[in-house]
Amino acid sequence: MRLNKYLATAQVASRRKCDEIIKEGRVKVNGKTVTELGVTVNEKKDKVSLDGVQLSLPSSFVYLKLNKPKGYACTNSDEKGRKTIFDLVDCDERIFSIGRLDYDTEGLIILTNDGDYANKVAHPRYHLEKEYKVAVKGQIKESELAVMRNGVVVKGERMPSCKIKFLSYENDVTKLSVTIDEGQNRQIRRMFEAIGKEITLLKRVRIGSVRLGGLKRGEWRDMTQDEISALVGGK
């Protein structure tokens, strides 16, 4: 295994960032500092350390999908003492989420202990679409949807364009499907705030070709091999 992949899989950073770390002389293999790129290691025998701390790879890789409920934080330990998504999952491995959903957003989130895989999924080159179901108070004009499709301007900055599909309007609530391929902080909420609309429900239902499926709120399951591979074009 190439050393940068070993570091990425051990949840250090992306492979590109790991290359920088190697060149900085912060990595040792079997006690010897390595600064050259392209070095390979035997992940079963060699001892790899970063800044004097020995690293290790997971004993087995885990890939899960979870239907995150509203009112859960996407962090291993919340400083405010709130419930976290890891309270919902029974897993012996040390896992983390690929990306986040904010506290009041629900829906699909992927959990793993494979750092290299997570960095691939999060890499901008894949342009993975993320589809959300959105419920908004009041009625929305087609002209307002057009503004968001083209990218609304928030504090002088134009936000990324998106796909928006009207689903229904009933009981003074508009339901929409919104698809983005960038993950700016609170992007969808900020888009609707910019046109003066209040979101009452925000739920992610798809990442790439992986869908939430029949998972109920708070439920999780192992991803299939097809789902795992689909997000990075084969694994």
The pTM score is 0.82
At residue 76 the predicted structure's pLDDT band, cuts being 50, 70 and 90, is: confident
- The tokens of 59 are what? 């004993």
Catalytic residue among 51, 102, 104, 222: 102
Specify the pLDDT at position 4: 94
Return mean pLDDT, the chain: 91
pLDDT score of 158 more than 70: yes
pLDDT score of 227 more than 90: yes
pLDDT by residue (tens digit) across 100-153?
A: 999 999 999 999 999 889 988 887 777 789 999 999 999 999 999 999 999 888
Q: DSSP state, 221?
A: E
Specify the pLDDT at position 169: 95
pLDDT score of 39 more than 90: yes
In a 10 Å sphere around its CB, with 0-12 CB exposed, 13-18 middle and 19+ buried, how is residue 79 labelled?
A: exposed
Q: How far apart are CA 218 and CA 161, in angstroms?
A: 31
- The tokens of 112 are what? 């793993």
How many residues in the chain? 235
Which H or E run includes 20?
helix 15-23
At residue 180 the predicted structure's pLDDT band, cuts being 50, 70 and 90, is: very high
pLDDT score of 26 more than 90: yes
What domains can you pick out in the chain, each with its CATH number? 3-54 (3.10.290.10), 63-125+214-230 (3.30.70.580), 129-207 (3.30.2350.10)
Strands 130-137 and 163-170: unpaired
- Asked if 102 is an active-site residue, the reply is yes
Provide the sign of the torsion angle of the four alpha carbons 7, 11, 14, 17, taken in this order: negative
pLDDT score of 235 more than 70: no
